[in-house]
Chain A
Amino acid sequence: EPEIVSGPAAEPECFAPWSADTKFFKFPKKDGPYRIALANGYIANTWRIQMIQTAKAYAAQPDVAAKLKEFKVVSTGEDVPAQISAINNFIDSGYDAIVVNAQNPTAFGPVIKRAKEAGIVLVAFDNILDTQDAINVNVDQKGLGVLWANWLAKHLPEGGKILEVRGVPGTSVDTDRHNGIHETFAATGKKWDVVEVLGKWDDPTAQKATADAIAVHKKFDGITAQGGDTGVVQAMIDAGHPFVPFGGETENGFRKFCAKYAAQGLKCSSAGTGPAQVAVAIKTAIAALEGQVVPQSVKLPLAIVEDPNFKEGQDFYPDQSDNFFVGNAFPTCGINFTAQEIMGQSKENQ
């Protein structure tokens, strides 16, 4: 049972509270080393794989490793009950903290109850939990939508025709980002004609949807996409669509395009939620176990790069995978992974 205390948190720059009324937790201090588990859901995409690589790399850092007796990762796939059961199993097996990338924000009520009763620190990240009883390491998904919409509004002061490539319908991330975009547009008071298509955060799907939209609507003044952005740009190139301002995610391939075609008009805002946030989540869990004060809801800084600031080797890596997500650094938390550290491990080993 954590004590509700008043802020600030132990490392205020890193553990920034979500908002002014965010609660602060102080868990009873436990002696290390700790047993920490990561309950992941889906695994078969680059983001998740990269996230798991980061988690392993972070847990292997000497100062972190010294605090850990065991770090266990289980991926249960897309099935929510399987993930719930995984967490239940971790609870029954006496882990000290459980870090979770939840398949569903609202489905974990019973588990949260059990974890709380058992005195286990539960930290959610990326897809967070709808609760006041667990720690959320939170990316401002809606803020992301706001950011993109503002970027477009800045470049299209008179409004215009926008292509919005959405994510997986029915998920809260998609909904939040979508709402952020539309509320921001509405607030400008200009005339925006938004064409929505489904990209499902997947390049080929986004590419096809974009190609179709271009074939039918001919010309857009601006584009925003939640993922699959490389495919969206590819579709523009294939269709000979002129480059227009673009608010999108942080895929390496997208940023490569942004850097390459900036001069022709592909003005990008690339921002998002890098997989390295798992490291922040683990760090938060350890801090909580050590009895430090942490906010119930941690606000992660967005990793934002906007035109004209795309720097090779830092904001994008020309010889790395297109699918790779850039944005591995949370300097305020002392977390700095390079692309090579995450995706190129074996290359170095060779």
Chain B
Amino acid sequence: MKDATREQPGAWLPKFVRRLDPAISTAFACIIVLLILGSLYSASFLSPEYLLQQLKVASFLGVISTGMMMVILLGQIDLSIPWSVAVGGMMACAAAAFGPVGETLAIPFGVACGMVIGFANGIGVAYLRIPSMIITLATNAVAQGLMVVYTGGFSPQDSATITMRYLATGFLIPGVPNAVLIWAIVGAVATFVLTRTTFGRSVYGIGNQERAAYLSGINTRRIVLIAFVSCGALSAFGGTLLAGYASKAAQSMGDSYLLPSIAAVVLGGTSILGGRGSYLGTIAGVILITLLQSILSVMQMPEAGRQITYGLVIIVMLLLYGRGPANR
């Protein structure tokens, strides 16, 4: 038992590399293959404008998937994404109608509304122990109901503020769309939170074995609640960005983000059962999904073929690297 030693500090490097597990490197390889295949159709697929455009569009999905990833790491899922996104965008624009104060508070207000949805989800999952798949379905329905009432009753304002436009489409650093910058910041914070903080450690712990985490003195309910609130906040923030991008908010803006956000997180190697996954993978997953959708769209494949290809590509990629362990 003399060999009970720990590694030297230098040994952390290979560990980091080892964490770059095959899933993530394969995902990135798939991105490159996609681009090469695309470039056979049109060289424009390799042009900087196109790639930047993709990154910009990917950042909305990226921000939303960040929240989804937190929740998936817990072994939960958030099906209220569509209307959390819409609520974020619509409420931010709504706030903008209230003069200059409203304009400055637009984004925080939109995000806060998303947090309220996340809070309801978190209470349901953590404190009432309702399966997340169903409570989030219900809050999604409630959020939709609220937005319908709101749209019908209050002479809705839905133009994005200048700040929202700037965040989504402006350039603080020349050549780098602000949306990409924001995704980078969100991603950096998420990576830090997941790897370096007690919160992140607890998220992984709960995802792996909630009972043990609880008995280890972790306030598991609070962690779950916070994760859902963050997911709501990030979805709503994604919604405000999306509203900025489109210069306005619309009810259906979140519909096309639910399944892609789940697919992106999982394609990035995060286990849908929770407890395993890294943010780098999610980045890869988001870019993959965005590129795939865009290339299929630009290639003008009919919708039927597009759906089939989309499904098949996801299956094939998962078969390449997303397989569970063999039984023995």
Tell me, yes or no, whether A and B come into direct contact in the complex with CB atoms closer than 8 A: yes
Question: Which A residues are within 8 Å of any B CB, using their own CB?
Answer: 43-46, 49, 52-53, 169-170, 195-198, 200, 202-205, 207-209, 211-213, 215-218, 230-231, 234, 238-239, 253, 321-323, 343-347
Which residue among B44, B50, B53, B250 has the maximum number of chain A CB atoms within 10 Å of its CB? Answer: B250
Partner of A230 from the list B156, B248, B251 (CB cut-off 8 Å) is B248
> Is there an interface contact between A343 and B155, defined as CB atoms closer than 8 Å?
yes
Partner of A196 from the list B49, B155, B300 (CB cut-off 8 Å) is B300
Task: Known A49-B148, A215-B47, A343-B156; judge A203-B250 contact (CB<8 A).
Answer: yes
> Is there an interface contact between A215 and B44, defined as CB atoms closer than 8 Å?
yes
> Is there an interface contact between A322 and B158, defined as CB atoms closer than 8 Å?
yes
Task: Known A202-B253, A204-B253, A218-B44; judge A43-B245 contact (CB<8 A).
Answer: no
Which chain A residues border B25 with CB–CB below 8 Å? none
The CA-CA distance from A205 to B246 in the complex, in Å, is 9
Closest partner residue, chain A, to B149 (CB atom):
A49
Which chain B residues border A215 with CB–CB below 8 Å? 44, 47, 49-50, 53
Is B297 interfacial (CB-CB < 8 Å)? yes
Which chain A residues border B294 with CB–CB below 8 Å? 208, 212
Which residue among B246, B252, B298 has the maximum number of chain A CB atoms within 10 Å of its CB? Answer: B246
> Is there an interface contact between A204 and B155, defined as CB atoms closer than 8 Å?
no
The CA-CA distance from A321 to B248 in the complex, in Å, is 9
Is B3 interfacial (CB-CB < 8 Å)? no
Interface size on B, residues (CB 8 A): 40
Partner of B158 from the list A198, A202, A239, A323 (CB cut-off 8 Å) is A323
> Is there an interface contact between A44 and B155, defined as CB atoms closer than 8 Å?
no
The CA-CA distance from A213 to B57 in the complex, in Å, is 13
Is B157 interfacial (CB-CB < 8 Å)? yes
Is B42 interfacial (CB-CB < 8 Å)? yes
Is B68 interfacial (CB-CB < 8 Å)? no
Partner of A202 from the list B57, B245, B252 (CB cut-off 8 Å) is B252
Which chain A residues border B42 with CB–CB below 8 Å? 216
Q: How far is the CB of B79 from chain A (nearest CB, A)?
A: 16
Question: Which B residues are within 8 Å of any A CB, using their own CB?
Answer: 42, 44-45, 47, 49-50, 53-54, 57, 144, 147-148, 151-159, 169, 242, 245-248, 250-253, 255-256, 294, 297-298, 300, 302-304
The CA-CA distance from A343 to B250 in the complex, in Å, is 15
Which chain B residues border A345 with CB–CB below 8 Å? 153, 155
Task: Known A49-B151, A53-B152, A211-B53; judge A216-B298 contact (CB<8 A).
Answer: yes
Closest partner residue, chain A, to B160 (CB atom):
A322
Given contacts A46-B251, A49-B152, A195-B300, 5 further A-B contacts (CB under 8 A): A49-B148, A234-B247, A321-B157, A344-B155, A345-B153
> Is there an interface contact between A45 and B250, defined as CB atoms closer than 8 Å?
yes
Task: Known A45-B252, A216-B45, A234-B247; judge A169-B157 contact (CB<8 A).
Answer: no
> Is there an interface contact between A198 and B154, defined as CB atoms closer than 8 Å?
no
The CA-CA distance from A216 to B54 in the complex, in Å, is 11
> Is there an interface contact between A212 and B298, defined as CB atoms closer than 8 Å?
yes
> Is there an interface contact between A197 and B300, defined as CB atoms closer than 8 Å?
yes
> Is there an interface contact between B242 and A204, defined as CB atoms closer than 8 Å?
yes
User: Can you give 21 contacting A-B residue pairs, CB < 8 Å?
Assistant: A46-B251, A49-B151, A52-B152, A196-B300, A197-B300, A202-B255, A204-B246, A205-B256, A212-B297, A216-B42, A231-B246, A321-B156, A321-B158, A321-B248, A322-B159, A322-B248, A323-B248, A323-B250, A343-B155, A343-B156, A346-B155
Q: How far is the CB of A103 from chain B (nearest CB, A)?
A: 16
Which chain A residues border B255 with CB–CB below 8 Å? 202
The CA-CA distance from A211 to B302 in the complex, in Å, is 19
Which chain A residues border B256 with CB–CB below 8 Å? 200, 202, 204-205
Task: Known A198-B297, A216-B44; judge A46-B250 contact (CB<8 A).
Answer: yes
Which chain B residues border A321 with CB–CB below 8 Å? 156-159, 248
> Is there an interface contact between B155 and A347, defined as CB atoms closer than 8 Å?
yes
> Is there an interface contact between A238 and B169, defined as CB atoms closer than 8 Å?
yes
Q: How far is the CB of A229 from chain B (nearest CB, A)?
A: 12
Q: How far is the CB of A255 from chain B (nearest CB, A)?
A: 14
Task: Known A43-B148, A44-B147, A343-B155; judge A209-B250 contact (CB<8 A).
Answer: no
Task: Known A197-B298, A212-B294, A216-B50; judge A204-B44 contact (CB<8 A).
Answer: no
> Is there an interface contact between A46 and B151, defined as CB atoms closer than 8 Å?
yes
The CA-CA distance from A216 to B156 in the complex, in Å, is 36
Closest partner residue, chain B, to A53 (CB atom):
B152
Which chain A residues border B155 with CB–CB below 8 Å? 343-347
Q: Which 3 A-B pairs have the closest CB atoms?
A: A169-B303, A215-B50, A347-B155
> Is there an interface contact between B250 and A204, defined as CB atoms closer than 8 Å?
yes
The CA-CA distance from A22 to B300 in the complex, in Å, is 38
> Is there an interface contact between B251 and A45, defined as CB atoms closer than 8 Å?
yes
Which chain B residues border A45 with CB–CB below 8 Å? 250-252
Which chain A residues border B50 with CB–CB below 8 Å? 212, 215-216
> Is there an interface contact between B248 and A253, defined as CB atoms closer than 8 Å?
yes
The CA-CA distance from A324 to B247 in the complex, in Å, is 14
Which chain B residues border A195 with CB–CB below 8 Å? 300
> Is there an interface contact between A204 and B152, defined as CB atoms closer than 8 Å?
no
Which chain B residues border A234 with CB–CB below 8 Å? 246-247
Partner of A198 from the list B47, B159, B303 (CB cut-off 8 Å) is B303
Which chain B residues border A207 with CB–CB below 8 Å? 245-246
> Is there an interface contact between B158 and A204, defined as CB atoms closer than 8 Å?
no
Closest partner residue, chain B, to A56 (CB atom):
B152
> Is there an interface contact between A44 and B148, defined as CB atoms closer than 8 Å?
yes
The CA-CA distance from A234 to B164 in the complex, in Å, is 14
The CA-CA distance from A196 to B47 in the complex, in Å, is 21
